[in-house]
Structure 1
């Protein structure tokens, strides 16, 4: 039986001829999980950076870091954290759209696949492309040992990551591991040095050199994004309709408990589709 690393390398070599070394390679995005290994992502929605509104600081920092990376310059692993639906994953995918012609490639990995990162990155080291390992919605339980292996890899132990590989991760939590509600409580069953336990809990996020925070939108920002997506969908809104439509859009967000870019896009799709279905543009 082949060694697991050799099996993964063989699978990647079979797939990469379709990928190609030129920017015209067929696939720019891949998925890796612990059960199926590598597989190309044939259809992937890649937004433009211009479509991500009210994220100027986040876009500027992420674009600069990624530009350094694709040019072979020092760059940092990146943690994008914050409320759900605020554009974290969309920003990472927009970077692939922006830098794909420059050789950037994306490998999506789930939490279980992260435990096999050393095996995953070994065959990438010899490739000419620049790879972002993308861990979407990254989180660990308090008793999950996987975060220690990931921390060691980011520290340069376990072989470290090759110079053409970076890790970009999104999470709803900045520190990736939830803090127990009782951690700051005094009691006979608590740890002797709770501060050390707390520092251990946040130590993984500190291995990311670039932190980008994503916050909930104001109502005006939310409506800006609604109008933007409606325009992209060619839904013409008359001036006398905007006030009533804004009320509908806010109600839509309230029912979903979130005023986010994702919800704004969903409302625009619903409204534009309904108008077009009825022959109104």
Structure 2
């Protein structure tokens, strides 16, 4: 065989090897759970990205949702101690601190259990829900308890990934690992749009069974925590907590009417609106919000 033929054959083999490498499944890297207390699940790479500084507030600043706060805190404490606990769905009004509460509860409980069994938080994005079984499989034998957290979880009419979530939470062959619990926030109580449920009812041969298939997703969450629009007094209490926590030098008689006008211009009162006002107030006072 001539040298040119050998070179041509080697070139073809190199191309074939390159194609096979691209077709091969990506290598699964064992996550470094020791790297941090909080992570973000990167589904495409099947890795956990450690988060050194988490965007959250102290649980002492969560106001106006005392009942939900206490229930979620107790559920999380039981889970961190290895006791039975429920998946939790935090649903309801926008801006009332649903995701803030999850992160604050994790911080509080992790501080209480600072040893080898320290509680970990992993955020999974809504579009990566289909990879939830894969993530649970990676965490099954890890020596830590994990909260898997999905913020703003909901499904559209043509979205079937909710079936993967149902199976991962309770219905799969392996079942949910004992060291994993799932917390989600949503504006919808049943996670699915009302017109999707109504469409199933009107077109299905057996409407009751079709609707049950959709609604039963929320049944996988043993703990339902409703968040509703806050009253004026609750809104002002949130502001008072923020102002005291950050030591902002302003009298109540001065900030209160200003804060009420702020809420009026936005057409709502909520924890998010309260925090936005505090940011504006601190900026006008020339003070950085650092704690």
The CA deviation at 1:251 is: 2.3
Tell me if 1:48 matches 2:58. Answer: yes
Task: Return 5+ residue gaps in structure 2 as ranges.
Answer: 1-20
The residue number in structure 2 matching 1:86 is: 96
The whole-number CA distance in structure 1 between the counterparts of 2:158 and 2:196 is 15
* Aligned equivalent of 1:177: 192
Partner of 2:82: 72
Counterparts of residues 1-281 of structure 1 (less than 5 Å): 3=25, 7-8=27-28, 10-12=29-31, 15-16=32-33, 19=34, 26-36=35-45, 37-101=47-111, 102=113, 103-180=118-195, 183=198, 190-238=203-251, 240-241=253-254, 245-276=255-286
> Does the CA contact (< 8 Å) of 1:151 and 1:207 recur in 2?
yes
Q: CA deviation at 1:190?
A: 3.1
Deviation readout 1:82-111 (Å, 9 max, x if unpaired): 111101111110112112141110010012
Structure 1 stretches of at least 4 aligned residues deviating more than 3 Å after TM superposition: 1-4
Q: 1:80 to 1:239 in 2, by over 3 A?
A: closer
TM-score, scaled relative to structure 1: 0.85
Residue 197 of structure 2 contacts residue 214 of structure 2 at CA under 8 Å; is this kept in 1? no
Q: Secondary structure at the match of 1:98?
A: helix
SS at match of 1:183: helix
Shift of 1:54: 1.8
Q: Is the 8 A contact 1:33 1:112 kept in 2?
A: no
CA deviation after TM superposition for structure 1 residue 257, in Å: 3.1
Matched residue pairs, number? 259
- Show structure 1 runs of 5+ residues with no match: 20-25
Q: Over the residues paired in the alignment, what is the CA RMSD in angstroms?
A: 2.2
TM-score (norm 2): 0.82
Larger gyration radius, structure 1 or structure 2: 2
Instruction: Tell me, in whole angstroms, the C-alpha distance in 2 between the residues paired with 1:50 and 1:239.
Output: 20
